[in-house]
Chain A
Amino acid sequence: MKPILQIINLTKYFGGLGAVVNLNLDVYQGEILGLIGPNGAGKTTVINMIAGALRPSGGKLLFRGEDVTHFPSHRIAEKGIGRIFQTNTLFQHLSVITNVRAGLYLRGNIGFWGDFLSLPYVHKQEALLYEEAFEILKFVGLSEQKDQLAINLPHGNQRALCLAVALALKPPLLLLDEPVTGMNAEEVSTMLSLIRALRDKKGITSIMVEHNMRAVMGLCDRIAVLDYGKKIAEGSPVEVAGNPAVIEAYLGVEQDAD
């Protein structure tokens, strides 16, 4: 079966520093792929390159067979790759539901003149979009808070909202950059079951960068390990956990509170 995403010889140099060097990785439809490694290994750089936020220095990215290597962020989103950021990147002064509505930009289908002249069909379309936003909020468990300002949400809920905004794209592929960072055990467990539900109920493929080892081991179907920009291991959680190179690079040094 052809992979949904093919990372071929992906490279990124910042000056003389090789942040990512000749990365080769296939991501298969419907899997949750973990991307782990010590700090500075290049994981977020890989995510940024896939998401179009950074230009690769070399290599290729094929999404569903199409070359998306040099696509800017908005075209990547159009193609169906969504992402969440390492920090809580939200429209802080908008309400929860308006944040998701903002994420529904590509499905707005509202023409410029209809919008400018405030024609009646626009209002109907807006109402439909808000309904859809509400459905997404229900899925992530934030329907109660829909009118609260994003800035007032506790951290765990903000993270869930970031996921909701990314889901507005209805993306076949999701890039999750540290989705459970800064969460307590209960929030982590909720987020993980959400990501699992995304795969099971919506068939969404996820690439997850994480430092939380329990989360990664418990959730991911496969794991790739980066160290100093290079892939040093790839396989099932059990295989990777037992790999001496991986253990040497970093497993066991991480001390999470949970």
Chain B
Amino acid sequence: MSSKISMIKHSSIPAFIIFLFLIPIFLKNTYWLHVLGIAGINVILVSSLHTIRSTGEISMGTGGFMAIGAYTSALLAMKLGLSFWLTMLLSGVLCAAVAVILGYPLMRTKGIYFSILTLVTAEVFRLIAWYYSSLTGGAVGLSGIPSPNSIPIPGIGTIIFETKVDYYYLILVITLLSLLVLFRLQNSQVGFVWRNIREMDHLAASVGINVLRYKIFAFAIGSFFTGIAGALFAHFMHLLAADTTGKFGMTTSIYILIYMVFGGEGKYMGPVLGAFILTVLPETFRAMKEYQPIIFGALVILIVFFMPQGIISFPDRILSWRRRKETSDRMPLQSS
């Protein structure tokens, strides 16, 4: 039975990806295309967090690294006139470099201590952006961030980035590429070692695994893609602000963590699903104004309470419930 299910899973993913590419054909509403764009960025963010999490640590630095990515890409494009495609990559690389430098001291700590240190460091990054107003605009913000540079395709035409549809495809492609890399890592020897570190780090060390180096690598890769997401965000919104309640504050770091737990840490697609649902669903409740955050909160609480393994565990729970029901039906004299 499970091979049938894996067959369904394997054929449904390419089908789903094709479906994602076809959405703008029937969805013309620019508001919803914008929401889907934000959802894509959140998917990259949550998958980055999940990558760091696979060594057992929770980083609360998402907002800060996103700030580095966003401002670096925006400023390089605006002040030096560099192409978006270069600035986005440079932002990712810079975030990775910062993560490596921070990682050496930080990843010697574990658990709550590591999380607090990442939280504080991220706030420092945001505050630098906030107070360095000559560069970043401070309270006024950084506006006029250019769109991604057009891509000329010889013989066919030019890809330009103007409408929400263009941005939708941009974010879709970059999100898929990011997920491809991150999922491949999880499935490789590196991912295997990460999971072993998470489960028993002293055992891993005793068989020769350099635990610190692997943890820093996870932190760096996660931060690279967080930076990419930040750069995407900057050139998507064309405006950046580093205030406390903005996108680069602690709130984002907390929300991305919520998306991950809500979706389910156990499988790679869990956090992706969580980010997608919790970005898109609240928008459907926007009409309810004050009740929107209450509904969001209630939803999260319900899932964490009744399905702590996350939304992604729903099919498995149905399967095991059915199996339990089968066995109890076959043995009527036994109480289940």
| Chains A and B form a bound pair | yes
Q: Contact residues of A with B, CB < 8 Å? A: 51-53, 72-74, 77-78, 82-83, 85, 89-93, 102-106, 108, 110, 112, 115-116, 118, 165-166, 168-169
- What CA separation (Å) do A107 and B58 show in the bound complex? 31
Query: What would be 12 A-B contacts, judged by CB atoms less than 8 Å apart?
Result: A53-B202, A74-B208, A77-B205, A85-B203, A91-B200, A91-B203, A105-B193, A115-B189, A115-B190, A116-B190, A118-B184, A166-B207
Residues from chain A with a CB closer than 8 A to the CB of B210 are 72, 74
Give min CB distance, B188 to chain A, whole Å: 5
- Considering the complex, which residues of chain B in the window 253-269 have a beta carbon less than 8 Å from any beta carbon of chain A? none
Instruction: Establish whether residues B208 and A169, one from each chain, have CB atoms under 8 Å apart when the complex forms.
Output: yes
Instruction: Establish whether residues A51 and B193, one from each chain, have CB atoms under 8 Å apart when the complex forms.
Output: no
Instruction: Establish whether residues B203 and A90, one from each chain, have CB atoms under 8 Å apart when the complex forms.
Output: yes
Instruction: Establish whether residues A91 and B196, one from each chain, have CB atoms under 8 Å apart when the complex forms.
Output: yes
**Contacts A91-B199, A92-B199, A93-B199 hold; do A73 and B206 have CB atoms under 8 A apart?**
yes
Instruction: Establish whether residues A85 and B202, one from each chain, have CB atoms under 8 Å apart when the complex forms.
Output: yes
Give min CB distance, B288 to chain A, whole Å: 42
Residues from chain B with a CB closer than 8 A to the CB of A110 are 189
Residue of A105, A108, A118, A165 with most chain B CB atoms under a 10 A cut-off: A105
Residues from chain B with a CB closer than 8 A to the CB of A74 are 205, 208-211
Give min CB distance, A229 to chain B, whole Å: 23
- 10 tightest Cβ-Cβ pairs between the two chains A and B: A73-B205, A77-B208, A106-B208, A115-B189, A103-B207, A74-B210, A89-B203, A115-B188, A74-B205, A74-B208
- What CA separation (Å) do A147 and B206 show in the bound complex? 23
**Contacts A105-B193, A112-B190, A116-B185 hold; do A78 and B208 have CB atoms under 8 A apart?**
yes
Give min CB distance, B177 to chain A, whole Å: 14
Q: Contact residues of B with A, CB < 8 Å? A: 184-185, 188-190, 192-193, 196, 199-200, 202-211
Residues from chain B with a CB closer than 8 A to the CB of A89 are 200, 202-203
Instruction: Establish whether residues B207 and A105, one from each chain, have CB atoms under 8 Å apart when the complex forms.
Output: yes
A92, A105, A118: the one within 8 Å of B208 (CB):
A105
**Contacts A102-B192, A105-B193 hold; do A165 and B207 have CB atoms under 8 A apart?**
yes
Instruction: Establish whether residues A165 and B193, one from each chain, have CB atoms under 8 Å apart when the complex forms.
Output: no
Give min CB distance, A152 to chain B, whole Å: 16
Residue of B189, B209, B211 with most chain A CB atoms under a 10 A cut-off: B189
Give min CB distance, B184 to chain A, whole Å: 6
- What CA separation (Å) do A201 and B118 show in the bound complex? 51
- What CA separation (Å) do A83 and B208 show in the bound complex? 11
- What CA separation (Å) do A72 and B210 show in the bound complex? 9
Give min CB distance, A108 to chain B, whole Å: 7
Query: Which A residue sits closest to B191, measured CB to CB?
Result: A115
Query: Which B residue sits closest to A48, measured CB to CB?
Result: B202
Instruction: Establish whether residues B200 and A90, one from each chain, have CB atoms under 8 Å apart when the complex forms.
Output: yes
Instruction: Establish whether residues A168 and B207, one from each chain, have CB atoms under 8 Å apart when the complex forms.
Output: yes
Instruction: Establish whether residues A118 and B188, one from each chain, have CB atoms under 8 Å apart when the complex forms.
Output: yes
Give min CB distance, A77 to chain B, whole Å: 4
Residues from chain A with a CB closer than 8 A to the CB of B192 are 102
Query: Which B residue sits closest to A78, measured CB to CB?
Result: B208
- What CA separation (Å) do A85 and B202 show in the bound complex? 9
